[in-house]
């Protein structure tokens, strides 16, 4: 995601066909953290370019309350993914004696 912090970086990542690779990765990946990272990167790649003065996302000032809300939403999303992963993972069979 560091590569997509600047307008030039986002453009380069788009030009390399990264979206297609991420789409395929997302189809078979089961690790919740990897899925979340893929989805966030896709959102950056398919989203509109930020307005003037926001070309470098690392330099954008985010109000404290918005940052806290985003962190809370990230935690909730991570917990939801972990629950889904646990519920969809088959239990190993007990060894026969």
- Say if 67 falls within a structural domain: yes
Mean pLDDT of the region 9-17: 91
Give the model's pLDDT for residue 94.
Answer: 46
pTM of the model: 0.63
pLDDT in tens, 24-52: 998 888 888 888 888 888 888 888 888 88
Token pair for 87: 């519920």
pLDDT at 22 over 70: yes
Please tell me the distance from the alpha carbon of residue 92 to that of residue 85, in angstroms, as a whole number. 15
Give the model's pLDDT for residue 51.
Answer: 84
The radius of gyration computed from the CA coordinates of the chain, to the nearest angstrom, equals 18
Give the model's pLDDT for residue 93.
Answer: 53
- Say if 96 falls within a structural domain: no
Domains of the chain: total: 1
- Say if 94 falls within a structural domain: no
Q: The domain containing residue 61 runs over which residues?
A: 2-88
- Say if 25 falls within a structural domain: yes
Interhelix angle 64-88/32-46, nearest 10 degrees: 130
- Say if 36 falls within a structural domain: yes
Token pair for 41: 């990167």
- Please state, rounded to an integer, the average pLDDT across all residues of the chain: 82
- Say if 93 falls within a structural domain: no
- Say if 34 falls within a structural domain: yes
- Say if 38 falls within a structural domain: yes
């Amino acid at each position: 995601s560091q590569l997509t912090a600047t307008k030039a970086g986002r453009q380069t990542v788009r030009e390399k066909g990264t979206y297609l690779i991420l789409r395929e990765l997302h189809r078979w990946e089961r690790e919740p953290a990897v899925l979340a990272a893929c989805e966030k990167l896709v959102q950056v790649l398919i989203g509109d370019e930020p307005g003037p003065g926001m070309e470098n996302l690392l330099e954008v000032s985010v109000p404290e309350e918005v940052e806290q809300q985003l962190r809370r939403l990230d935690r909730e999303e991570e917990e939801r993914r972990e629950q889904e992963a646990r519920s969809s993972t088959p239990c190993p069979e007990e060894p026969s004696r």
